[in-house]
Amino acid sequence: MFVSLFLGCQRQAQRVSYNVSKAADNFNVERRFTAINMRTDKIMFEMTGVFSFEVESGTRTNSVVILVKTGPDEYRKHTVNLNEWTAYVVEDTGGYKANSYRYEMNFYPGMLIPITTSNY
């Protein structure tokens, strides 16, 4: 009995995970993407808003391609290159049915003044 309940929950969790991922790729889920320098434990880059992302693996580095929607038929593509000393985290921050055109990018270089760009 316990095994069947566990398997039923696992299937439901897989279905929900798939549905949330699909909604996010359709620009309906607000998220936060954070890139962290693992040598210094400092945040290098952060992006919040509604976006879709994909990890592209290369020979020496991996890239995360972030696609944002800025209008009914307008999009912008951002690429974050990663190496063995960089990690990233993507969080669901606002749930389903967010403003499809909202995003904000923050760069955190330690020796420069922080830069913020946004589209509201």
pLDDT at 14 over 50: yes
Q: Where are the domains of the chain?
A: 26-119
Looking at every residue in the chain, the average pLDDT score rounds to 81
Residue 100 has pLDDT above 60, yes or no: yes
What type of residue is 32? R
Residue 1: the pLDDT is: 47
pLDDT of amino acid 117: 67
Give the pLDDT of residue 57. 78
- Report the pLDDT averaged over residues 84-103: 80
pLDDT of residue 67: 94
Please list the residues that pair with 34 across neighbouring strands: 46, 89
The beta strands (E) that lie in the chain are given as 29-37, 42-57, 62-71, 74-82, 86-96, 103-107, 115-119
Measured CA distances, 86 to 8, 14, 82, 83, 96 (Å): 37, 28, 6, 5, 29
Q: Tens digits of per-residue pLDDT, 28-87? A: 899 999 999 988 888 888 999 999 999 987 766 789 999 999 999 999 999 988 888 888
Q: Which residue has the higher pLDDT, 35 or 1?
A: 35
